[in-house]
Structure 1
């Protein structure tokens, strides 16, 4: 067990933001949506690049 002072404990607790279960779920859902969005954008870019390469051939 690590010994920490009362001041350190307060700082740690202040840094550790408490979020509810619902908020956590919302945050995860937003992250998933963002990842999906990024993947879709990446695929669109890849398709455009592939089409350009096909035209150049």
Structure 2
């Protein structure tokens, strides 16, 4: 199941959103910010389909 999550970009500080797959309990991947296009490491954690943890860190270029 997918769900949209809003958070602040660690590069430009704008509020952005990403679609997260709640069927995978723990995952880490890299997505580009939709505003500034800089890479962000995303780590969401789910339990029973509910988001229980979310971390986003900037990746230096």
TM-score of the two chains, using structure 1 as the length reference: 0.18
Relative to its length, the structure with more strand (as a share) is 2
Relative to its length, the structure with more helix (as a share) is 1
TM-score of the two chains, using structure 2 as the length reference: 0.17
Structure scoring higher RCO (CA < 8 A, sep ≥ 6) equals 2
